Structure 1
Amino acid sequence: MNNAIPDLDSITRQLMSLNRPKKPKMLVVDDEPDNLDLLYRTFRREFNVLKAESGVHALQLLATEGEVAVIISDQRMPEMKGTEFLSKTVPEFPDTVRIILTGFTDVEDLVDAINSGQVYKYITKPWDPNELKGVVQRAAETYDLLKQRTEELDRAQAQTNLLATIVTVAQESSNVADTLSPIATAFGESFATDGCILQLVEENNLTTAKAEYSIDSVIVNNLEKDPIVQRAIASKNLQAWVSGTEPELAEYQATDLKAHLVVPIVYRSQVLAILSLQWKQPAKLREDELKLIHLSAQQVALALTSTRHYQ
């Protein structure tokens, strides 16, 4: 096997080059237009602020826009109280941080909401802009920490599943073709790709034997003429491409591809297969994840070699 660790730091920088900090999303909910506009003006520089004049409208916005970092909601609104609205957001968006604005002493409602984890903080009206900004800043930091913890747990589980899949196929597959699909799927799911291809190589040429995993059917699946793939086979090392760099292949553009990582599966200096990981958004791989991909590829090489041996 090729045990040399490639320059993962440079590949990480290349893959992350399109990741630009984006404003976090915030949802503000109030039935009074003046208050709604004031909240919007207060936070529009730091956040992508969504506005809703009722709990019902806010739920519709969330269904369309997806998760937001912070929700600020008035408590006293027609049709639905703020605490009632916020409670409905918890099951689908558990990491969102929720803040209540209240001009009344709805102590029982607020205590119940805070104790159940539905509300992070309540602010009394009239609210002080500096105080509210401080609360929201801490809320956004809390959201980031929650998301980071959730992502790390999901990543650890996915990586465990990946390694378990490689071991299982090595032990149970009766032929090489049977190993391709579960491994491609495991890599695709573990690293949140939009498409993943595992294709066998013989004498430095791609064969017709391959397996594909994709979120939808539109991925780059013609690897034979891909210069990134050819470079990976020739160098026996990881190769990365991101949108905006050469070469700008027509097939990449047709599928809105933003990042492509090609991993050669190498055993004793022989390329056995190519693993193609494809994203339609900037890849968020860290260096430790690239190292895991590299090491997992070596395990795949062992699995393919073992399967061929027992055919």
Structure 2
Amino acid sequence: MEYTVPGLNNINQKVRNLSRPKKAKMLVVDDEPDNLDLLYRTFRREFNVLKAESGVQALEILEAEGEVAVIISDQRMPEMKGTEFLSRTVPEFPDTVRIILTGFTDVEDLVEAINAGQVYKYITKPWDPDELKVVVHRAAETYEVLKQRTEELRRSQAQTALLAKLLQIAQAATTFEGSLESMVQAFAETFNADHGAFRLLDAGQVQTIASDEFSQDWLEQDPLILATIETSQMQGCFDVSVDETLVSLPQYGSLKAHIVVPIVMRTADVAMLSLQWESPYQLREDEMVLLHLAAQQVGLAIMSSRSYALAGSV
């Protein structure tokens, strides 16, 4: 099921405007320089191609660069076979799609690697460039599908954990303000924020419940808060240095990223959630959807925590 998040397209556009790699990463590994250069030239226009002359060097590159979409590795290399190298990449990078090149009939090694899920496809040397391109494009598509499924699972697990924590906080509330402070902290911890706050709009009265003293003084006139009130849509900036409106404001001397989520109950804004980071910070789209979904449960949690707190005081 897909969710439409008010204001998400606007935030995504801001994220797209930030500098980030436009090409998927590919790692090619071969101890023969001519083959390595040929692989690089074949794919450099479509991928950000990284080169390694051995399995050991390739592992060092992965440690420095992080996950890549596709790995193409020769099988017969000094020090470490291609299948051994690829098997060592599986635990840390399970979604990466692996292709092996072989000029030998190492049937046992290849069958074992393929059956273990370590190799997506093997190509015999000398390879046909068109055939290899087709295989690599399919591998890149497979990687995207795997990443999407991984992110959906991560979002589902994070959503379940966060909503359970919010419900637990509401049920354990002894004071209304105390429960809200705990909820803010739960959001901040989930999304790695340095500061957080609720801005409550109750019968025309405004109240700020913050995770610390930092957010108390400036939120009322913050441009993102005001835009959220005006539009009832999520507002945010993940790199203040590229926003001419925010960069000159005093609070953004120490803050470098800020997102504000409206909390709606019965079609009326009852609160806003503000999360703030002291360094430029980018939430994935699945994390922003989770943030929106969880925030919409907070209205109920606020009402529930208030009820529990009132009941406890009787």
RMSD: 3.2
Higher helix share: 2
Q: CA deviation at 1:103?
A: 0.8
Looking at structure 1, the residues matched to 61 and 186 of structure 2 have their Cα atoms a distance apart, in angstroms, of 34
Cross-structure match for 2:197: 198
The total of aligned residue pairs comes to 294
Helix, strand or coil: the match of 1:71?
A: strand
Is contact 2:227-2:235 (8 Å) kept?
no
TM-score normalised over the length of structure 2 = 0.81
Matched, 1:138 2:138: yes
Deviation per residue, 1:219-258 (Å, 9 max, x gap): 99953442222444x549344133555622344475432x
CA shift, 1:283, in A, is: 5.0
Mapped partners of 1:29, 1:107: distance in 2: 20
Partner of 1:237: 232
Partner amino acid for 1:247? Answer: T
| Unmatched 5+ stretches in structure 1 | 1-7, 213-217
Give me the whole-angstrom Cα distance separating, in 1, the residues matched to 2:216 and 2:136: 42
* 2:45 partner SS: coil
* Aligned partner letter, 2:236: W
Cα deviation digits, residues 240-278 of structure 1 (max 9, x gap): 133555622344475432x6233357699684x531135
Residues 25 and 49 of structure 1 are in contact (CA less than 8 Å); yes or no, is this contact kept in structure 2? yes
Determine the C-alpha separation between the residues in 1 that align with 2:157 and 2:142: 23
Deviation at 1:301, TM superposition (A): 2.4
Matches of 1:36 and 1:176, distance apart in 2: 64
Instruction: Give distance in 1, aligned partners of 2:32 and 2:217.
Output: 53
Q: Which residue of 1 aligns with 2:301?
A: 300
**Residue number in structure 1 paired with 2:11:** 15
Match of 1:248, SS state, is: helix
8 Å Cα contact 2:151-2:286 kept in structure 1: no
Counterpart of 1:5? none
Question: 1:193 touches 1:278 (CA, 8 Å); kept in 2?
Answer: no
Higher relative contact order (CA 8 A, sep 6+): 1
Q: Report the secondary structure of 1:247's partner residue.
A: helix
Partner of residue 72, structure 1: 72
Percent of pairs with identical residues: 52
Q: What is the letter of the counterpart of residue 246 of structure 2?
A: E
User: Aligned-pair distance for 1:19?
Assistant: 4.3
Which range moved further: 143-152 or 194-203? 194-203
* Alignment deviations for residues 172-215 of structure 1 (CA, whole Å, 9 cap, x no partner): 1212343235423443465x4545513354764454x4216xxx
Task: Quote the Cα distance in structure 2 between the aligned partners of 1:74 and 1:184.
Answer: 51
